[in-house]
Chains A and B, each alone.
Chain A
């Protein structure tokens, strides 16, 4: 099996590959690049927020041009000019930061990257169920991503109606919005192809002995995630299609009519409903939240079980909670819309479901925390990220409760508090989990370890600075600073808390610097990392049975599974881990 792969030409082996591991790595690298790009957009915005209308520093000023930035005179006497971010540029960056981070960075990284690489291995499968479909979904994703970026180069710049693209604003926005919609339709197609593949692989390609309750929690998390992608994404695809028609074919699905733009009434039949978009959008975007977090929880579970050298506490509770979470996530969407004037009966319903959905999240987190109890913890880089994930995710989750309650949401809606809440879930939450995953599976993908000390520096810097970025957001939000404000110093209450915004900006700059060791580590370890065997972490799950890196076809011999996924420190065994596969 394995020697066949050597016959493949370079472009077939590494570029147009059908091997799930290569595709997983392609996804990971592409998504990390988008992550860096989305982060860059945010740095420019943060500079504007901290130092409103001040010329941008040289790095950004040199790469940005009209209409994103405008010329201003810095020094009247010398005539020296500088570039400042314009309001339109700020809006475009904001919309694209959100879109890129969610749809082009985190989801492809969590599902396309880790899911692709790890899931078939953990199932003992030779590849995904549909290898060519897998390749197609990566290339569709890449095309959608490039199309999204192309938006920056059309007249009027990229989409600037927020990542949520609420009409009627988005209906009258510049061409960038049309590009955004086309990009979304392509990206959604990509994740649909991916999710079909994942579900079929996890259900049909499990090896002999690997019953559902012997699957690692990571596979369960990916399975639930795939169902969410499969069933929640199509309504957004429909919504995107409808908005596209509103923009290019003159329909009026989201246009109630009588819209006056610059003194002229928009020519449309009217009769549409802007709220319809919000319903369709959030019907996707709430399950999307769990798409962002579940794979992260899966990775954390793997890392924690491995480094506590104990079975996960409450494995079945974890699985049932994940399934319940997935189900509930379909009926909470309108808690994003309390302020749209919906009736109290409806908002009470969504308030209740929102409170209910926090229960399985808490169960999952509790299981993971209790798993630490009484363990002799190995503090390596993946584990440090996993351990810091727990409180960060808890902060993110708990700060969501006041948003889920209608009364407190009236004050907090659309403020920085909301931004703080979901960034705590996704940034120090999911992204930390992704980092844990990169450090944990890097030896499997490359056959080499990442450098431990660079990893710890990376972790420490990230942990400190990410809190410096996002903790002030809660206070800003409670002070009433609105989330999409270009310059908060224009309001009295905003000016009073400007110091917190400056702090967040310096936190973001620090966070950028803290990623340098990671970048060095990632590439340096590829060539100079310590070579390791198949199972450097002394882990139990099936991927560690395959050689590192696994050849095309994965396993030297088809494994047979004899036990559950987390049989660490089994009394009477000679080693403190008992692998799932029988030798």
Chain B
């Protein structure tokens, strides 16, 4: 591109012990820590500030019942990411030892594991986006389906009983003008009358009875907002990592023929980034799913 030779492009600088790219990526990761740090702080602040009993806590009977996230899926994803970190290191180590082919293979495995992570994440997101929480104006009881309730506090500190049902919308009935007349709502097993094991059945709900109806998407609650934004941003980082790794697998790999050291360095930098993305998940998993 140009004849200008930048010092310490490949060889480490005697003072820092790093070549330029590696130093740069560490600085970039420092800024990333501040980015995710701010998001984690947001989570902490909102959770601490939430009125008692409104923050969904895993396994706690005091909140709206259950754990609303799927821990087994997240555990599987954690395994995917940790394994991908190992294969990432192996890719770099093989390149360093001069084995291009093995390095490429491990890089490919890393990409595949990252892809698997995203697939699992897709199923997790999808189930949340089609799962509804309906809050009623008052106690709801029709056709043997009864709303559950819990006593919460408003932000002003006054006590408030919340009547709700969780479930799926089977059908939305509209009139000729397109205005919604009613929903055919299939409650989850545990909220329908008769409790666990009882054959659930769908019930008709009219918009006038509903105080708020929302999916378990980002707008569902502060917790879900945090969940979607933080894991979403983390997911974008995964996508970014995949794009970079694919580049180095395909077009970018031409560099191996002319500058093998530089190519290995680039994989090392990609690896540092990848470990960071991995590490963020290691924090996200307990914070969002387990605590």
Contact = CB atoms under 8 A, between A and B. Distances in A.
Interface string B148-174: 000000010000000000000000000
Interface residues on B, range: 35 or more
B237 to A, nearest CB: 13
Given A4-B2, A250-B214, A253-B42, 20 more contacts: A125-B7, A129-B8, A131-B4, A132-B1, A196-B27, A230-B31, A237-B38, A241-B233, A245-B218, A250-B219, A251-B219, A251-B222, A256-B155, A257-B155, A258-B155, A269-B214, A269-B222, A271-B50, A271-B155, A280-B38
B201 to A, nearest CB: 28
Contacts of A237: 35, 38
A197 interface: yes
Contacts of A203: 13, 15-16, 23
B24 A196 contact: yes
B27 A552 contact: no
Contacts of B42: 238, 242, 253, 276, 280
B229 A241 contact: yes
20 contacts: A5-B2, A125-B6, A130-B21, A133-B24, A199-B27, A200-B20, A203-B16, A204-B15, A230-B27, A230-B30, A245-B228, A250-B217, A251-B218, A251-B222, A252-B219, A252-B222, A269-B221, A271-B155, A272-B46, A552-B2
A205 B7 CA distance: 6
B13 A272 contact: no
A95 to B, nearest CB: 23
Interface residues of A, number: 56
B291 interface: no
A234 interface: yes
A19 B31 CA distance: 25
Contacts of B45: 273, 276, 279
Interface string A551-582: 01100000000000000000000000000000
B212 interface: yes
Nearest to B8: A204
B39 A1 contact: no
A126 interface: yes
Contacts of B21: 130
A383 to B, nearest CB: 34
A250 B20 contact: no
Nearest to A273: B49
Contacts of B4: 1, 126-127, 131, 552-553
Contacts, number: 163
Given A130-B24, A204-B7, A205-B8, A268 B1 contact: no
Given A1-B3, A552-B4, A192 B46 contact: no
A426 interface: no
Interface string A217-258: 000000000000011111101110110010001111100111
B210 to A, nearest CB: 12
A196 B28 CA distance: 7
A245 B8 contact: no
Interface string A194-218: 0111011001110000000000000
B188 interface: no
B225 interface: yes
Contacts of A256: 155
Contacts of B214: 250, 269
Contacts of B38: 234-235, 237-239, 280, 283
A253 B222 contact: yes
Contacts of A4: 2-3
Contacts of A279: 45
Contacts of A239: 38
A253 B229 CA distance: 10
Nearest to A229: B31
B22 to A, nearest CB: 10
Q: Which are the 4 A-B pairs with shortest beta-carbon distances?
A: A250-B219, A251-B225, A238-B38, A234-B35
A192 B228 contact: no
B6 A126 contact: yes
B54 interface: yes
A276 B2 CA distance: 47
Interface in A171-188: none
Given A200-B24, A200-B27, A249-B218, A235 B46 contact: no
Contacts of B212: 267, 269
A267 B135 CA distance: 13
A132 B6 CA distance: 12
Interface in B218-276: 218-222, 224-226, 228-229, 233
A196 B20 CA distance: 10
Given A129-B6, A241-B233, A256-B155, A233 B31 contact: yes
A495 to B, nearest CB: 39
A386 interface: no
B148 to A, nearest CB: 18
B43 to A, nearest CB: 10
Contacts of B20: 129-130, 200, 204-205
A18 interface: yes
Interface in A396-440: none
A270 interface: yes
A235 B16 contact: no
Given A5-B2, A271-B222, A272-B222, A197 B24 contact: yes
Contacts of A272: 46, 222, 225
Given A235-B37, A235-B38, A238-B42, A200 B23 contact: yes
A18 B2 contact: yes
A125 B9 CA distance: 12
Interface string B23-57: 11001101110111111011001100111001000
Given A192-B28, A192-B31, A238-B39, A252 B225 contact: yes
Contacts of B28: 192, 196
A258 B27 CA distance: 42
B97 interface: no
A552 B5 CA distance: 11
B48 to A, nearest CB: 10
Given A231-B30, A249-B219, A18 B1 contact: yes
Q: Which of B21, B32, B37, B218 has the most CB of A within 10 A?
A: B218
B8 to A, nearest CB: 5
Contacts of B155: 256-258, 270-271
Contacts of B217: 249-250
A253 B3 CA distance: 51
A232 B2 CA distance: 34
A126 B222 CA distance: 51
Which residue, of B13, B36, B38, B46, has the highest number of chain A Cβ atoms within 10 A?
B38
A521 B117 CA distance: 59
Contacts of A192: 28, 31
Contact of B46 (A234, A238, A271): A271
Nearest to B55: A271
Contacts of B2: 4-5, 8, 18-19, 131, 552-553
Contacts of A271: 46, 49-51, 54, 155, 221-222
Nearest to B45: A276
Interface in A7-50: 8, 18-19
A8 B1 CA distance: 9
Contacts of A197: 24
